[in-house]
Amino acid sequence: MQSKSGRIIQFTTVVVTCIVIALVAAPAAADVQCEAVPSAILGRPVSVCVALPPTYTSTQKRFPTLYFLHGLFENERSWSERGGLQILQDLWARGEVGEFLVVLPDGGKTFYINAYDGHERYEDFFINELVPWVDRTYRTIATPAERGISGTSMGGFGALHLAMEHPDVFGSVSAHSAALIPKIPNPLPSEGRWGFYARVLQTPFGSPLDRDYFDRNNPLTLAGHPGQFRQLKLYFDCGESDRYGFEAGAQMLHEKLKAAGFPHEFTLRPGDHGWSYLNQYLKFSLLFHWQSFSQSGGKSVVAVGGSQ
C-alpha cells in the first residue's frame, strides 16, 4: 500500500509535469517595444510601438510589416491595449496567419496627412522618416509587397490615403470604419454631426475648412484615379449602423472602385463604430494582409546582417 507521503510526491510530480507541458505548448507572446522616433521634418519625436512576432528574437529571419493607424482620440498604445494584439496572437496560436511585425505610430489628430498650412507634415514624416527607420531598426522585408497599412476611423482615412498616394511603399491596404465623408455642405453647420466634423477636421484641413485641400486628400477623390495604384490590394469594411454615418462613404468608395473595374474586398457588417466593432472584425483585415504577404512570397526570409 502506497504511503501518504508517496501519494503526495506522485501528485506533486504530476502537477509539475502538467505545468511544464502547458508552458511548452503555450504560444509565445508578441513583444511590444515602444520608443520615441526622432523627426527632423516634424521637429519633434513621435511615439511609436512595434509588436514583434513570437520568433523574432529566436531567429535571424526577416518579416513582413503591417502599419496600423489609430483613430481620433487614441494613440500608439490603443491597438495593443484594447484588443488588437490579443486578436493577432489568437490568429498566430491557431495557425491562421504567419508572423509579421505591426508598427503603431502616434498620429495625434493629423489624419496622417500633411496639414493644409504646412505646419504639421505628418505624411512626409511617415513616408520619408518612419518607414526607413523601421526598416533600419528591425528585420523587415523592405519591399512594397511585404509592407501593408491598415487603420480604423481617422486611421482608416489615413491608411487609404497613404496607400493610394504611395503604392511604391505599400502593396496592401485595409480600413475599418474609415472616416470617409462623401460631401461637405456649404456652409458647414456648426452643430450636430457636421459641427463635430468641423472641429476634428480643423487640425489638418483648416478652420474654416479648406474644401479644395480636403477634396484633394480625400480617398474618395483619389479612388477616381485607380490607374495610379493599380497593383494595390485593397480591403475595407464598415458597420451598417456606424454612429458617424461613415457607411455612406464606404459604400461610395465601393461604387467608385467597382465602376472603375478595380478589384477590392468590401463588406458592410452588423455593428456600430469603435473598438466594439473592431474587436469583432479586425481579424478579417489581418487575414487579408497575411494572404497578400503570402502571395508575394514574403512569409519570412533569412536575414543578412544590419537590424536588431
Convert the pLDDT of each residue in 10-22 to its tens digit: 544 443 344 333 3
Among the residue ranges 110-119, 188-197, 289-298, the one predicted with the least confidence is: 188-197
Predicted confidence (pLDDT) at residue 111 exceeds the cutoff of 60: yes
Q: What pLDDT, on the 0 to 100 scale, is given for residue 265?
A: 99
Convert the pLDDT of each residue in 51-70 to its tens digit: 999 999 999 999 999 999 99
pTM: 0.88
Task: Print burial letters for 30-53: b (CB count within 10 Å at least 16), e (below 16).
Answer: bebeeeebebebbeeebebbbbbb
Has residue 92 been placed in a domain?
yes
What is the distance between the alpha carbons of residues 55 and 58, in angstroms, rounded to a whole number?
5
Predicted confidence (pLDDT) at residue 79 exceeds the cutoff of 90: yes
Q: Looking at beta carbons, which pairs linking 41-45 to residues 24 or more positions away fall under 8 Å?
A: 41/121, 41/124, 41/125, 41/128, 41/129, 42/120, 42/121, 42/122, 42/125
pLDDT-above-70 percentage for the chain = 87
Has residue 102 been placed in a domain?
yes
Which amino acid would we find at residue 149? I
- The band of 198, judged by pLDDT with boundaries at 50, 70 and 90, is confident
pLDDT-above-90 percentage for the chain = 78
Question: In the chain, how many domains are there?
Answer: 1
Count CB neighbours of 200 within 10 A: 16
List Cβ neighbours of 24 (8 Å cut-off, separation of 6 or more): none
Predicted confidence (pLDDT) at residue 8 exceeds the cutoff of 50: no
Has residue 198 been placed in a domain?
no
Q: What pLDDT, on the 0 to 100 scale, is given for residue 213?
A: 96
Convert the pLDDT of each residue in 210-269 to its tens digit: 999 999 999 999 999 999 999 999 999 999 999 999 999 999 999 999 999 999 999 999
Q: What pLDDT, on the 0 to 100 scale, is given for residue 17?
A: 42
What is the domain range of residue 225?
Answer: 28-182+220-302
Has residue 51 been placed in a domain?
yes
Has residue 19 been placed in a domain?
no
Has residue 205 been placed in a domain?
no
Q: Whole-number mean pLDDT of the chain?
A: 90
Q: What is the CATH number of the domain that holds 232?
A: 3.40.50.1820
Kind of pairing between the strands at 147-152 and 101-105: unpaired
Q: What pLDDT, on the 0 to 100 scale, is given for residue 299?
A: 55
CA proximity to 230, closest of 134, 144, 302, 105: 144
Convert the pLDDT of each residue in 258-278 to its tens digit: 999 999 999 999 999 999 999
Has residue 10 been placed in a domain?
no
Q: What pLDDT, on the 0 to 100 scale, is given for residue 28?
A: 58
Contact 233, 170 (CB under 8 A): no
**DSSP bridge pairs for 233:** 172
Has residue 258 been placed in a domain?
yes
Q: What pLDDT, on the 0 to 100 scale, is given for residue 207?
A: 87
Name the grid cell of 68. Answer: 496600423
Contact 301, 293 (CB under 8 A): no
